Amino acid sequence: MISSVGVRRRRFRRALIPLAVVATVLGASPVASAAPAPPREVALDEVTKVSPRQLEVSVESPAMGGPVSVTVLLPRDTSRSRSTVYMLDGAGATGNVSDWITKGDAVAFFEDKDVNVVLPAGGKSTFYTDWERTDRVVGKPMWETFLTRELPPLIDRYYNGNGRNAIVGLSMGGQAALALTFRHPQLYTGAASLSGCPPTSGLLNEAYVRATVGRDGADATNMWGPFGAPGWAAHDPSLHLDKLRGKNLYISAASGAIGPLDFQEPLDPGMSRQQQTFAASGLESGAYRCSLEFALTLRANNIPATESFPLIGTHSWAYWRQDLPQLWPTIARGL
């Protein structure tokens, strides 16, 4: 937990980065207007210093319609410019701090890495995409706009980023990492998908994505349209392979076979050990099929990727914690 004792807070004034110039001129002053309320601007609203190198940041996002909680991990030497790694959660993440922090040992892993690490929270069941229509459960999130247009200029400006980025995601976030990379190839040098379902076209793949979105009651039709609609193909990395050529790619998923580590993980609230391991096994076997399909598509098109398809492993942090050091050499090549 974050203790309030000794925590330093500092506030940034609004009007830091107007959305109209978020990718160009930073800090421009808005033109005076007689409108009742000025337009929202991208801003670092509040920074809580958890430790000298871990910051909890509240970002005011016009795209998201309010504040977004983001953890920023800093390197030991903050005097030099450095690259940035963005890390995305899975569909089941809850709370105001990324699961990579609370469950994934990200703080310890990046202790000796010379990069910024940016970990947004609150993306539950959204696939970190711009939704087409308002949903009764998740509203109308605009994660892609936030992650690719609003957040990177703030990170580069305030935390000495050099413009080189990689993105890592697990489960839902793994698919999003690859989708964001091909849709914004100028932004990322590499991407890693852990236990994700990268392709979104086709009956099985779309059904897997719909089930992931629907686990908490949201409707993926509001995200990318009805079955087979253009929005699904527009976010399918397997249909846009040339945009991934030359990127540092890491694809991983296990077979779903239960191993000893599954009996050591804390139980989710209301779940028995049998229920938790059964669910984790089923989810991972689906991700394994999707990820293997995508890896084979990459091979067939001569696009290199580092692959990891272990025989033992389920949809669980017990295995994703092990993936982090394994994926690092691949994405680090472009940082």
Query: What are the pLDDT digits (tens) for 193-224?
Result: 999 999 999 999 999 999 999 988 999 999 99
Identity of the amino acid at 67: P
Q: What is the pLDDT of residue 92?
A: 86
For 115-173, write each residue's pLDDT tens digit.
Answer: 999 999 999 999 999 999 999 999 999 999 999 999 999 999 999 999 999 999 999 99
Residue with tokens 């999003």: 176
- CATH of residue 250's domain is 3.40.50.1820
Residue 35 predicted with pLDDT over 90: no
Helix/strand/coil (H, E, C) string of the chain? CCCCCCCEEEECCCCCECHHHCCCCCCCCCCCCCCCCCCCCEEEEEEEEEECCEEEEEEEECCCCEEEEEEEECCCCCCCCEEEEEEECCCCCCCCCCHHHHCCCHHHHHHHCCEEEEEECCCCCCCCCECCCCECCCECCEHHHHHHHHHHHHHHHHCCEEEEEEEEEECHHHHHHHHHHHHCCCCCCEEEEECCCCCCCCHHHHHHHHHHHHCCCCCCHHHHCCCCCHHHHHCCHHHCHHHCCCCEEEEECCCCECCHHHHCCCCCCCCCHHHHHHHHHHHHHHHHHHHHHHHHHHHHCCCCCEEECCCECCCCHHHHHHHHHHHHHHHHCCC
Residue 112 falls inside a structural domain:
yes
Residue (of 3, 33, 36) closest to 18 by Cα position: 33
**Beta-carbon-side half-sphere exposure of residue 39 (alpha carbons within 13 Å):** 14
Residue 41 predicted with pLDDT over 90: no
Give the pLDDT band of residue 95 (cuts 50, 70, 90): confident
Q: What is the pLDDT of residue 15?
A: 35
Distance from the first to the final alpha carbon of the chain: 31
**Beta-carbon-side half-sphere exposure of residue 326 (alpha carbons within 13 Å):** 16
Q: Which domain holds residue 115?
A: 50-332
Residue 124 falls inside a structural domain:
yes
Residue 126 falls inside a structural domain:
yes
Q: What is the pLDDT of residue 23?
A: 36
**Dist. CA 106–CA 104, nearest whole Å:** 5
Q: What is the pLDDT of residue 30?
A: 35
Q: What is the pLDDT of residue 143?
A: 98
pTM: 0.88
Mean pLDDT of the residues in the chain: 89
Residue with tokens 């991208």: 42
Residue 262 falls inside a structural domain:
yes
Residue 284 falls inside a structural domain:
yes
Residue 293 predicted with pLDDT over 60: yes
Residue 41 falls inside a structural domain:
no
Give how many domains the chain has, as a whole number: 1
Q: Which residue has the higher pLDDT, 77 or 92?
A: 77
Residue 86 falls inside a structural domain:
yes
Give the pLDDT band of residue 4 (cuts 50, 70, 90): very low
**Beta-carbon-side half-sphere exposure of residue 112 (alpha carbons within 13 Å):** 2
**Dist. CA 119–CA 88, nearest whole Å:** 6
Residue 28 falls inside a structural domain:
no
For 172-188, write each residue's pLDDT tens digit.
Answer: 999 999 999 999 999 99
For 56-70, write each residue's pLDDT tens digit.
Answer: 999 999 999 999 999
Give the pLDDT band of residue 39 (cuts 50, 70, 90): low
Q: What is the pLDDT of residue 206?
A: 95
